A and B are shown apart, each in its own frame.
Chain A
Amino acid sequence: MTDFPTMPRGAQSVATKVIGGVIVVCVCVWVLPSVLVLVIGMVPTIVAFFTDRRREKYAAFCVGAMNLLGVLPVALGMWTQDHSMDSAMRNVTNVFNWFLMYGAAAIGWGLYSVTPAIVAFVLRVQIERRISKMQGYQQELIDEWGEGVTDSAKSAEEKQAASAER
């Protein structure tokens, strides 16, 4: 049998990337109106992504989810009615849409900002309740056994020895 000539592994990878890039460019050109709306509408998310220094990117995720919710009606309107650059331009220049998209992102920001405070409050209440419960238990021990129960075992023994000596 005759062996077919094969391409080297590096050349294969480059080819794959080129083919993928061409496909993406084609798709972008095809969905350019949607991309335009998404890029402009998702600016708060992009900003959040870059300003959030945490690895987990909770801020970007939080703002992004809400922001996407604001962009989604605009994008859906285009997809179901007129998916053209004109329509895209109209939508991105519409103040109401801006309000919708950025307002949703603001809600995301708000959620991101307020939640830690709420959680902190809840945590503090929880800890205080536990401390209070434990102090109540300690008080019960004192009521049952007297102030001596607060002494350490060693100091109790020392007291006992002292009283025995007396």
Chain B
Amino acid sequence: MADAETNVNAGTGAPVTLDGRFDIFPSSPLPQYDSPAAKAYLAQSKRDADDRLVAVRLDWRLPPQIDVMTNLRNLAPTGVMRVMEWGIVPWAPENRRLMVVVMERPGGDRVMSGPKATFDPFDEQQIVKGVLMPLLAVIRELQARGQTHRNIRPTNLFFTDGQKHNVVLGDCYTSPPAYFQPAWAEPIESHMCDPAARGRGRLFDDIYSLGATILALAIGRAPVPDGDPHQLLLNKINYGSYAALAAQHRVPLPIAELLRGMLSDDLKERWTIREIELWMGGRRLSPKQPKLPKRATRPFELAGREYFNARALAVGFSSEWRSAAPAIRGPAFEMWLKRSLSEESVVERLTKLVGAAQTKESGTGDGERLAARASIALDAPAPLRFKGLALMLDGIGDLVATSLENPERRQLLAELFQARLASIWLTGQTEARSDTARWQQAFDRMPQYISSGTAGYGIERCLYELNAHLPCLSPIVERFYVTNMVELIWALNDYSRNPGPAPKLIDRHIAAFCAVRCKQMSDQWLRPLGDSEQSNSYKIGVLKIMALVQQVSKLEQAPDLTKVLAEMLQPVVESFHNLKQRKKMHADLQAAGKTGKTSELLALFNDMQVLERDEKAYHSAQANYHRTASQISLLHIDAGNADHHAKEMGEQVAAIASGSIGFLIASITFLFYFI
């Protein structure tokens, strides 16, 4: 590791400080500690300069494994690179914030430098004392904390020192569980899965991976470095994992016994930590024959391939899902099940899960759903398989996160959610599970989200619902590594300093992120986002969301964000027809835009009925204007006819006046003469 110190001196960039306790040197990479999804850099403790530390920079697109890191922080066993601290730091070389994890740096090199690398095989003594003892302690401690490692493979092992006696496990939090595990190092169920969707798994998965790793260590290379993973899977199913992986290699007999136990495909027969410890203590058992799935007397043929057992046929239905449905509906399948396979439990499960759906096709996608149901019935512990996808339910979040940039996969996931197969899979499980209700609820919500095209729903909503620690992946704020509402307001405020000609404060990611992480945000907040972006309702909807987020964040000042919002709301003010009100609103908007508080802006627009009233009053004014104009036109016509009217009226008036005057004067004259 002398190169590390050299790199520090050569580095030109300033160190990044994490939590005030650790300095990380972005200019001093330590490529020997790189993970497939995380680059390693030199780190130093501020308290103890003698600490040998390394920091890994996590890929911001992958969900961070916060729960695992929390569990590994105070881990006592020395057989793993212990986590010292993690957090989000500014990463100047990429002009973004990133999550980094500081951990202990092993003294030696990586045991296996690459997937096809070879190394000196470990002898029995080395395997027991140098590998099994430290690693079993780690697995036991993790088990006690309800955690699994899921990254046990030779390429993730490091020697503790230059003497190459003992090894330590590398990280298990820079990527989704088992994401970079080679297929040979994973048990059959996990092997079937999409690498991103293998899930946290169970203790038995770690034991299997440890067994496969020991095999690799014993032979000095990967047991099956090349080859078709699908064929390897079928070999594992048909002949057992031990035979598929170790049969072609010369392994010391005691180690072979250990491997038979650790690589057993039957969970009931796979060795536990206790059994491994007994073996380490010298107890030797007679070698067990692997328990293979029941072989049918005749093969079932699907898409030109022959299948002799239910599990292998389920794999066939999964990979050849297009031709699966006609085969399942055909008479040959039922006959094969009853006469050739003769497994009552499988027939019962098929009747329960497939039932009436088997008889005829009633709509689009029925065939795929039928293939998925049949796969579950044929092989219950296997992952949920649909149209070529295979996933463990607890791996769905990671699968969505890694599929986000692939439109075809997104579509496939949408179809998977809408097919509501998770509950079928849970129903089909023969083993009791404690997380059934949790996953049932989680998957029940997804079809609603997927079916809505509005921002705040869709695949993005599923992404954040299923990944509690994933930062907001919106292009607007992704470089700020936003994990909560405070950071969101802070990031949006920063974005608002130079937002470009057409600022957009809420995209699909931000809307979905807020909908999930801001508990106060109900569906009614998201509804306006479905309107046109030019509409007043959309703009006021954005303002309401921003105001709520700022309120929740308790961040009192967001001056640039408020300014951009005020500018965005100008057209809303312009839509006020009443000029006096518009002028007043302009002045109020200008003033509120300078306060830095989005709530001040919202106070101006909170009453949506003002706009409605203005609209109504405007239409009324228009009607009044036109009515008055009509009356004026009539009066002009009257003025044109005034002479005619005046003549008629004038004659009447003259007659009345004349008569009145005549009567008055005549009366006076009479009085004058006769009195």
Question: How many A residues face the partner with a CB closer than 8 A?
Answer: 51
Complex Cα–Cα for A58 and B645 (A): 15
Cross-chain contact B635 with A131 (CB below 8 angstroms): yes
A122 CB, min distance to chain B CBs, angstroms: 8
**Chain B, residue nearest A165 (CB):** B534
Cross-chain contact A61 with B658 (CB below 8 angstroms): yes
Complex Cα–Cα for A135 and B629 (A): 8
B648 CB, min distance to chain A CBs, angstroms: 8
Cross-chain contact B673 with A124 (CB below 8 angstroms): no
> Would you call B603 an interface residue if the criterion is a C-beta within 8 Å of the partner chain's C-beta atoms?
no
Map CB proximity to A onto B141-157 as digits: 1 under 8 Å, 0 otherwise: 00000000000000000
Cross-chain contact A69 with B662 (CB below 8 angstroms): yes
> Would you call B619 an interface residue if the criterion is a C-beta within 8 Å of the partner chain's C-beta atoms?
yes
> Would you call A96 an interface residue if the criterion is a C-beta within 8 Å of the partner chain's C-beta atoms?
no
Complex Cα–Cα for A148 and B661 (A): 56
Cross-chain contact A127 with B673 (CB below 8 angstroms): no
Cross-chain contact A119 with B631 (CB below 8 angstroms): no
On chain B, the residues within 8 Å of A58 by CB distance are 651-652, 654-655
> Would you call B579 an interface residue if the criterion is a C-beta within 8 Å of the partner chain's C-beta atoms?
yes
**Chain B, residue nearest A152 (CB):** B626
Cross-chain contact A117 with B650 (CB below 8 angstroms): yes
Cross-chain contact A146 with B577 (CB below 8 angstroms): yes
**Chain B, residue nearest A77 (CB):** B673
B599-655 with Cβ < 8 A to chain A = 618-619, 621-626, 628-629, 631-632, 635-636, 638-639, 642-643, 645-655
Given A58-B652, A73-B669, A80-B673, also A153-B657 (CB < 8 A): no
Cross-chain contact B619 with A65 (CB below 8 angstroms): no
Cross-chain contact A115 with B654 (CB below 8 angstroms): yes
Q: Which of B622, B643, B662 contacts A68 (CB 8 A)?
A: B662
On chain A, the residues within 8 Å of B653 by CB distance are 115, 119
Map CB proximity to A onto B534-547 as digits: 1 under 8 Å, 0 otherwise: 11000000000000
Given A115-B651, A134-B631, also A65-B658 (CB < 8 A): yes
Complex Cα–Cα for A111 and B663 (A): 15
Cross-chain contact A145 with B621 (CB below 8 angstroms): yes
> Would you call A50 an interface residue if the criterion is a C-beta within 8 Å of the partner chain's C-beta atoms?
no
> Would you call B231 an interface residue if the criterion is a C-beta within 8 Å of the partner chain's C-beta atoms?
no
Cross-chain contact B639 with A128 (CB below 8 angstroms): yes
Question: How many B residues face the partner with a CB closer than 8 A?
Answer: 47
Complex Cα–Cα for A165 and B651 (A): 63
**Chain B, residue nearest A65 (CB):** B662
B197 CB, min distance to chain A CBs, angstroms: 44
Given A116-B650, A120-B646, also A134-B632 (CB < 8 A): yes
Cross-chain contact B619 with A153 (CB below 8 angstroms): yes
Given A123-B645, A145-B621, also A135-B651 (CB < 8 A): no
On chain B, the residues within 8 Å of A141 by CB distance are 621, 624-625, 628
Cross-chain contact B666 with A68 (CB below 8 angstroms): yes
Complex Cα–Cα for A16 and B542 (A): 103
Cross-chain contact B651 with A144 (CB below 8 angstroms): no
Complex Cα–Cα for A69 and B647 (A): 25
Map CB proximity to B onto A42-64 as digits: 1 under 8 Å, 0 otherwise: 00000000000010101101110
> Would you call B285 an interface residue if the criterion is a C-beta within 8 Å of the partner chain's C-beta atoms?
no
> Would you call B578 an interface residue if the criterion is a C-beta within 8 Å of the partner chain's C-beta atoms?
yes
Cross-chain contact A108 with B621 (CB below 8 angstroms): no
> Would you call A12 an interface residue if the criterion is a C-beta within 8 Å of the partner chain's C-beta atoms?
no
> Would you call B433 an interface residue if the criterion is a C-beta within 8 Å of the partner chain's C-beta atoms?
no
B664 CB, min distance to chain A CBs, angstroms: 9
**Chain B, residue nearest A79 (CB):** B673
> Would you call B532 an interface residue if the criterion is a C-beta within 8 Å of the partner chain's C-beta atoms?
yes
Cross-chain contact A116 with B646 (CB below 8 angstroms): yes
Map CB proximity to B onto A135-159 as digits: 1 under 8 Å, 0 otherwise: 1011001111110111111001000
A60-110 with Cβ < 8 A to chain B = 61-63, 65-66, 68-69, 72-73, 76, 80, 108
> Would you call B659 an interface residue if the criterion is a C-beta within 8 Å of the partner chain's C-beta atoms?
yes
**Chain A, residue nearest B640 (CB):** A127
**Chain A, residue nearest B650 (CB):** A116
Complex Cα–Cα for A66 and B673 (A): 19
On chain A, the residues within 8 Å of B625 by CB distance are 138, 141-142, 149-150
> Would you call B665 an interface residue if the criterion is a C-beta within 8 Å of the partner chain's C-beta atoms?
yes
B626 CB, min distance to chain A CBs, angstroms: 7
Cross-chain contact A120 with B647 (CB below 8 angstroms): yes
Complex Cα–Cα for A121 and B577 (A): 41
On chain B, the residues within 8 Å of A54 by CB distance are 651
A34 CB, min distance to chain B CBs, angstroms: 14
Q: Which of B645, B646, B661 contacts A117 (CB 8 A)?
A: B646
**Chain B, residue nearest A113 (CB):** B654
Cross-chain contact A164 with B658 (CB below 8 angstroms): no
Cross-chain contact A69 with B666 (CB below 8 angstroms): yes
On chain B, the residues within 8 Å of A1 by CB distance are none
Q: Which of A62, A80, A127, A131 contacts B654 (CB 8 A)?
A: A62
Q: Which of A68, A120, A138, A143 contacts B628 (CB 8 A)?
A: A138
Complex Cα–Cα for A6 and B321 (A): 128
Cross-chain contact A143 with B662 (CB below 8 angstroms): no
Cross-chain contact A143 with B652 (CB below 8 angstroms): no
Complex Cα–Cα for A55 and B177 (A): 112
On chain A, the residues within 8 Å of B250 by CB distance are none
On chain A, the residues within 8 Å of B655 by CB distance are 56, 58, 61-62, 65, 112
On chain B, the residues within 8 Å of A148 by CB distance are 577, 618, 622
On chain A, the residues within 8 Å of B646 by CB distance are 116-117, 119-123
B45 CB, min distance to chain A CBs, angstroms: 60
Complex Cα–Cα for A111 and B657 (A): 8
Cross-chain contact B622 with A144 (CB below 8 angstroms): no
Complex Cα–Cα for A73 and B648 (A): 32
> Would you call B438 an interface residue if the criterion is a C-beta within 8 Å of the partner chain's C-beta atoms?
no
Complex Cα–Cα for A21 and B632 (A): 61
On chain A, the residues within 8 Å of B623 by CB distance are 153
**Chain A, residue nearest B660 (CB):** A65
On chain B, the residues within 8 Å of A142 by CB distance are 625
On chain A, the residues within 8 Å of B648 by CB distance are 116
On chain A, the residues within 8 Å of B534 by CB distance are 164
Q: Which of A76, A118, A146 contacts B669 (CB 8 A)?
A: A76
> Would you call B580 an interface residue if the criterion is a C-beta within 8 Å of the partner chain's C-beta atoms?
yes
**Chain B, residue nearest A160 (CB):** B575
On chain A, the residues within 8 Å of B618 by CB distance are 145, 148-149
Complex Cα–Cα for A112 and B661 (A): 13
Complex Cα–Cα for A65 and B660 (A): 9
Q: A72-B666, A137-B628 are in contact. List 4 more A-B contacts (CB 8 A).
A: A59-B651, A135-B632, A143-B579, A149-B577
Task: Across the A-B interface, give the 4 residue pairs with the lowest CB-CB distance, nearest first.
Answer: A116-B650, A120-B646, A65-B662, A115-B654
Q: Can you give 23 contacting A-B residue pairs, CB < 8 Å? A: A59-B651, A62-B654, A62-B659, A69-B669, A111-B658, A112-B654, A116-B648, A116-B654, A117-B646, A119-B653, A123-B649, A134-B628, A134-B631, A142-B625, A143-B579, A145-B577, A148-B618, A148-B622, A149-B621, A149-B625, A151-B622, A152-B622, A164-B534
- Please list the residues of chain B having a beta carbon within 8 angstroms of any beta carbon in chain A: 532, 534-535, 577-580, 618-619, 621-626, 628-629, 631-632, 635-636, 638-639, 642-643, 645-655, 657-659, 661-663, 665-666, 669-670, 673
